[in-house]
Amino acid sequence: MTDFALPPMHVDFRISAQASLSFAFTDAADEGMHVGCAWLAGPRTPETWHLSADYSALALEQAETDGDIAAAAEQVYSDLLTRVRGSSHPYLLRIWNYLGAINAGDGDAERYRRFCVGRASAVDAQFNDPPPAATAIGHDNGVGALQVIALCSRKPAIALENPRQTPAWSYPRDYGPVAPGFSRGAVLGADGDSARLLASGTASIVGHVSQHVGDVAEQLRESLRNLEALLAVGHERSGRSFALSGCEALRVYLRHAEDLATARAVIDSSGLPIERVLYLRGDVCRRELVVELEGVFAPM
């Protein structure tokens, strides 16, 4: 299903229906969908997912009106479900959400919390049973448009939860009026040669509580422990064995570019194939967290 040459600086989503999903660096402003997460280190060559007829992908962008991220999220997710439900690929497996100023606003007015409210207003019962694996990252392009990229399939994936973490949809009221709607990961095509485990955005959270505030190295180590726990659950649920060494693509989003050297030192000693790790500048959905991971893993 996938052929990974790895991710780049800005991300250009070029969708060829039921054929490929490319995350590729480009300087051409008039091509594709660009995400303003600046390249810090790692591969510059494209990460290309060659999709069989069992999969399709959609890339949507919704303008915000007067910075109303809740309304934009409701509209883009309504559009997404309209396109997907009743199609030949009705199952949402993996979603990427990119928005500007993700942590702007206080309390329930924070833009990420408002995004969750808008998404929850649009999605249906099937979306939440269970929700797809997902990532939400803040980019540097400012307020203006919400970008959503979705991987869909003819068949459902195996949704994964991490035993070290509270399911996101069960977070207490402390984190907003609506709990985030995503699973921690998914196993695709478990019975076939193209099986993959897709890890959602993974951060330094145990239970529902952020850990190691102010320490990027320890936050990254905790995130890696969460990732390893997810890979173990993937094995339990699918019968396929996954390990950090089987990583085909890993993105490390750093809130502060100056943390790059520290992050690279932690990753270099983790057992991950370092040539497949891309470092990008991006904001994590919790303002006290400074690093988040997402990745793709082949069975061993």
Whats the size of the chain, residue-wise? 300
Angle at 146 (CA atoms; ends 143, 150), nearest 5 degrees: 160
| 292 classed as catalytic | yes
Contacts of residue 66, defined as CB under 8 A and 6 or more positions apart, other chains included, come to none
Of 167, 198, 171, the closest CA to residue 183 belongs to 167
Catalytically annotated residue among 64, 74, 248, 292:
292
Residues with a catalytic annotation lie at 292
